[in-house]
C-alpha cells in the first residue's frame, strides 16, 4: 500500500484481501438488472472490489448512528434517525449509475434491516424548455443547467427525516418526465449519484456534498470514457430505431457514420469541456476514488486518510 497526498493508494489485489461480509454472490440475473447500458460487471468485481467497500460503509454507518445518539444525549433532545448519505460522482459514461445500483443492491443484501434508497441528480436538470429559454440547452450537464436550490432542498428534507420528492429524468425522451416524481422517506441509507454531486457551490451558501457522510468518485482515463460514451451512443441508436417516442429516433433513421460524427463532436465540445472544467477538479474531494481500466475493471483505489 502506497501513500499519495492525503490518500492511501491501494492496488486491487491488496483491496480484495481486506475484511468483507460473507454474502452469497449475486446471480447472473441480478447482475444483468444492475448493469447500465454498455457497462460491464462480474462476480469477480463484486467480491474483490465492492464487498470490501460495502463492509467499510457498514462501519461508517455504525459510527454515524452512534454519533447521532451521542449528540442527542449531549443536547438533551430526542434522538431521531438521520439518513447516512453516500455521494457517487464521475464523468458521463464512466459507470456511475452501475456503481450506484450495485451499491444499493449489495448494501440491502448485506444489511437487510436497512432501507437503502437511490436517486440521481439528473432529475434536477432544468426541463429542456427552460434550458432553451435560458439559451443553455447546449450546456446540459454543466453546473448552470441544474436547479441547485431544488436539489439542496431535497437533500436537506431527506436528511431531516421528512418525505422528499424528486423529479424523474428519462434518457429515452432526454428530458424531465412531466408530473412524475420519486418519493423518498426516512431511509437508513441514501445513495445520490450524479456528475455534479461533489462540485463546489457557486451562488448557494451550501452545496450537495455538505450533506454527504461518504463520497465516491468513479475515475478512468478520458480516452476510455470517450470510447465507452461512443459505444453506448451506438447502442442507444439501435434501441431507438423502432421507437418514435425516443429522443434518438430521427437520428437513428439516418447514417450511423454521420450520427457517430455528431456524437464525437458532442463529446469534444460538451462532455470533454464539462469533464475538464467542472467534474475532474472535484475528484480529490471524494473519500474514495475508484480507478477503472479496460472493460470497466477497477484496478486501483485511493482511500482518503483524513
CA dist 119 and 101 (Å) reads 10
Residue written as cell 443553455? 136
Pairing of strands 298-304, 7-11: antiparallel
97 is in an annotated binding site: yes
Q: Is 90 annotated as a binding residue?
A: yes
Which residues, including other chains, have CB under 8 Å from residue 29's CB and lie 6 or more apart?
Answer: none
Gap between the Cα atoms of 169 and 124, Å rounded: 8
State yes or no: 95 annotated in a binding site.
yes
Q: Return the residue matching grid coordinates 452512534.
A: 66
123 is in an annotated binding site: no
Cell reading at 209:
456534498
Q: CA-CA distances (angstroms) from residue 151 to 140, 167, 179, 213?
A: 16, 10, 17, 17
168 appears as a binding residue in the annotation: no
**Cα–Cα distance list, 282 to 4, 89, 214, 217 (Å):** 17, 9, 14, 8
Instruction: Report the 3 state secondary structure along 274-301.
Output: HHHHHHHHHHHHCCEEEEECHHHCEEEE
Q: Is 93 assigned a ligand-binding role in the annotation?
A: yes
Ranges of beta strands (E only) in the chain are: 2-4, 7-11, 84-90, 116-120, 164-170, 175-184, 189-193, 214-219, 288-292, 298-304
Classified as helix, coil or strand, 273 is: helix
Answer for the pair 93, 227: CB distance below 8 angstroms, yes or no. Answer: no
- Where is the binding site for ATP, in residues? 90-97
- Where is the binding site, in residues? 90-97
Amino acid at each position: 500500500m502506497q501513500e499519495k497526498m492525503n490518500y492511501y493508494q491501494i492496488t486491487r489485489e491488496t483491496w480484495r484481501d481486506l475484511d468483507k461480509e460473507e454474502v452469497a454472490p449475486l446471480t447472473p440475473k441480478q447482475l444483468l438488472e444492475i448493469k447500465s447500458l454498455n457497462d460491464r460487471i462480474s462476480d469477480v468485481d463484486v467480491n474483490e472490489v465492492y464487498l470490501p467497500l460495502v463492509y467499510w460503509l457498514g462501519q461508517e454507518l455504525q459510527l454515524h448512528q452512534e454519533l447521532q445518539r451521542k449528540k442527542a444525549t449531549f443536547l438533551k433532545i430526542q434522538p431521531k434517525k438521520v439518513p447516512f448519505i453516500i455521494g457517487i460522482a464521475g464523468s458521463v459514461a464512466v459507470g456511475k449509475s452501475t456503481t450506484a445500483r450495485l451499491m444499493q443492491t449489495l448494501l440491502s443484501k448485506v444489511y437487510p434491516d436497512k432501507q437503502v434508497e437511490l436517486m440521481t441528480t439528473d432529475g434536477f436538470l432544468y426541463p429542456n424548455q427552460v434550458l432553451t429559454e435560458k439559451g443553455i440547452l447546449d450546456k446540459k450537464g454543466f453546473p448552470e443547467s441544474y436547479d441547485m436550490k431544488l436539489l439542496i432542498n431535497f437533500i436537506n428534507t431527506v436528511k431531516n427525516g421528512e418525505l422528499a420528492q424528486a423529479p424523474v429524468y428519462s434518457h429515452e425522451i432526454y428530458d424531465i418526465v412531466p408530473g412524475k416524481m420519486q418519493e423518498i422517506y426516512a431511509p437508513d441509507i441514501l445513495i445520490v449519484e450524479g456528475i455534479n454531486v461533489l462540485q463546489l457551490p457557486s451562488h448557494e451558501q451550501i452545496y450537495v456534498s455538505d450533506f454527504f457522510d461518504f463520497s465516491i468518485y468513479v475515475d478512468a482515463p478520458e480516452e476510455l470514457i470517450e470510447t465507452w460514451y461512443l459505444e453506448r451512443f451506438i447502442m442507444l441508436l439501435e434501441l431507438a430505431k423502432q421507437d418514435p417516442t425516443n429522443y434518438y429516433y430521427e437520428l437513428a433513421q439516418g447514417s450511423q457514420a454521420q450520427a457517430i460524427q455528431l456524437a464525437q463532436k458532442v463529446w469534444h465540445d460538451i462532455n470533454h469541456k464539462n469533464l475538464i472544467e467542472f467534474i475532474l477538479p472535484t475528484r480529490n474531494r471524494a473519500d474514495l476514488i475508484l480507478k477503472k481500466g479496460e472493460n470497466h475493471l477497477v484496478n486501483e483505489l485511493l482511500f482518503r486518510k483524513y
